[in-house]
Chains A and B, each alone.
Chain A
Amino acid sequence: MIRVHLPAHLRTLANVSGEVTLAIAGPVTQRAVLNALEAEYPMLRGTLRDHVTQVRRPFVRFFACSEDLSHESPDAALPEVVAAGVEPFLVVGAIAGG
């Protein structure tokens, strides 16, 4: 199972607490994770990426294993430890304010 950590506002929106876990058949990529996330929690559609273009929203970041994967191809394989459920896939709201 893939572990996904959502920011607080999206946990509230999805009515979940803590991490969510997702079953993914096939290659574990950003796109596969987001597809599975939106299928399980349809209220999150449009909050992480555009409905039509599927481009990541500018102030949303994707981290894993202490790396920023936001600019990786959505079809690139995620680290094996994420695919194995050892490390979570982190959805992060970019810092803003002052």
Chain B
Amino acid sequence: MSQVRVSVGTRKGAFILTSDAKREHWDVSGPHFAGWEIYHVKGSPVDPNRLYASQSSGWFGQLIQRSDDGGKTWAPVGNQFTYDGIPGTHQWYDGTAHPWEFKRVWHLEPSLTELDTVYAGVEDAAMFRSTDGGTSWHELSGLRGHGTGPKWQPGAGGLCLHTIVIDPKNPQRIYIAISAAGAFRTEDGGTTWQPINRGLHSEFLPDSDAEVGHCVHRIAIHHSRPDVLFMQKHWEIMRSDDSGNNWHKVSGNLPTDFGFPIEVHAHEPDTIYVVPIKSDTEHFPLEGKLRVYRSRTGGNEWEALTKGLPQSDCYVNVLRDAMSSDRLDPCGIYFGTTGGQVYASPDAGDNWKAIVHDLPAVLSVEVQTLT
């Protein structure tokens, strides 16, 4: 019988939640790495028991942990993230040049085909790759060095590379997103990169249609149709039908189109989910009602999903890596909040239930379907 494993990264440790395919009763394991910030935990599609975790603290810096038994036991692997060559500068908040400095790993993306290959998105924004299971890391410096790097500027959360999406039909094609530089694509496995931000519009930029500088919050694709990309930008939901070459707005009837995560249904390429947040200065749901919005039309037409979610006095946030889906039928949708709840819907969003209530603030939620 299938099982579901939900890996949760929080401000004070990692938690592993497991259930059978009914998704009614959950076992909770953790905290792992108690007291440390766990920005992201993600499993390998090649071997689901291979998990990577980004562990960091303001005192002791960055660690990477690896598990080969589905999160029961962990061992630290390599944690040296050294920029390739002379790092150079990006823009600081005040527009002055600021040297690139490594701070933390935001996102770990295991290869879809190679067990020991894993990518790391880091702050200050850069992409690293390990081909030895996380023991050593090497920067894919063509991204930072492609030409626009000196114009990149941090968002409120820092200059972070937070999204890595590998094309399942062509592993040489990878999409990444940086706050606040925008989206980029490689066609050669990470050697060379190009910005893909045509159609994005950001009022906070002097040139609102600039090639780079946009605050992209997350990108999602469906595995069957990887040329179609969905994006939650700082404000606005965007869609591209040509691998990111051009984007158009699909916010439609959403009550607000600010937010962080965006997710695609496992079996329906045009069914997508967002969690609208009031604004960039008020990071909580509109009217104190926690509502997931679902579009079954690839955007523009959205319906509120509320059953089982708090509909009064709710002022949590849902961060960019804190939403995921399983591959069961019906598809399960999951998200975590800064209030420490992890909500699950076993029926594609129609009904929700908190499977844990009181974790530390949730930074990331990743789901594996185990058969």
Interface residues of A (CB under 8 A from B): 7, 9-10, 13, 43, 45-48, 51-52, 57, 59-60, 93-94, 96
Contact for A59 among B58, B63, B79, B82, CB less than 8 A: B58
Given A57-B61, A60-B59, verify A46-B36 contact (CB < 8 Å). Answer: no
Q: Which residues of B contact A94 (CB under 8 A)?
A: 59
CB of B63 within 8 A of CB of A9, answer: no
Contact for A9 among B35, B62, B80, CB less than 8 A: B35
CA distance A94 to B63 in the complex (A): 19
Which chain B residues (50-83) contact chain A, with CB distance < 8 Å? 57-63, 76, 79-80, 82
Rank and list the top 9 A-B pairs by shortest CB-CB distance, nearest first.
Answer: A47-B60, A43-B76, A93-B59, A59-B59, A51-B80, A46-B79, A46-B61, A47-B61, A59-B58
Interface residues of B (CB under 8 A from A): 35-36, 57-63, 76, 79-80, 82
Contact for A45 among B35, B57, B79, B82, CB less than 8 A: B79
Chain A residues touching B, majority SS: loop
CB of A9 within 8 A of CB of B60, answer: yes
Q: Nearest-CB distance from B258 to chain A (Å)?
A: 30
Q: Considering only CB atoms, which chain B residue lies closest to A43 in the complex? A: B76
Given A48-B60, A60-B59, verify A13-B82 contact (CB < 8 Å). Answer: no
Given A59-B59, A60-B59, A93-B60, verify A45-B36 contact (CB < 8 Å). Answer: no
CB of A46 within 8 A of CB of B80, answer: yes
Q: Nearest-CB distance from A59 to chain B (Å)?
A: 4
CA distance A57 to B36 in the complex (A): 16
Q: Nearest-CB distance from A7 to chain B (Å)?
A: 8
Q: Which residues of A contact B63 (CB under 8 A)?
A: 13, 43, 46-47
Scoring B59, B79, B82 by chain A CB atoms within 10 A of each residue's CB, the highest score goes to B59
Q: Considering only CB atoms, which chain B residue lies closest to A47 in the complex? A: B60
CA distance A7 to B57 in the complex (A): 13
Q: Nearest-CB distance from A47 to chain B (Å)?
A: 4
CB of B59 within 8 A of CB of A9, answer: yes
Q: Nearest-CB distance from B99 to chain A (Å)?
A: 13
Q: Nearest-CB distance from A51 to chain B (Å)?
A: 5
Known: A48-B60, A60-B60. 8 other contacts (CB 8 A): A7-B59, A9-B35, A9-B36, A9-B59, A13-B76, A46-B61, A46-B63, A46-B80
Q: Which residues of B contact A7 (CB under 8 A)?
A: 59
A to B CB contacts below 8 Å, 15 in the list? A7-B59, A9-B36, A9-B60, A43-B76, A45-B79, A46-B61, A46-B79, A47-B60, A48-B60, A52-B80, A57-B60, A57-B61, A59-B58, A59-B59, A93-B59
Q: Considering only CB atoms, which chain A residue lies closest to B80 in the complex? A: A51
Q: Nearest-CB distance from B114 to chain A (Å)?
A: 25
CA distance A52 to B76 in the complex (A): 19
Q: Considering only CB atoms, which chain B residue lies closest to A7 in the complex? A: B59
Q: Which residues of A contact B62 (CB under 8 A)?
A: 46
CA distance A94 to B62 in the complex (A): 17
Q: Nearest-CB distance from B76 to chain A (Å)?
A: 4
Q: Which residues of B contact A47 (CB under 8 A)?
A: 60-61, 63
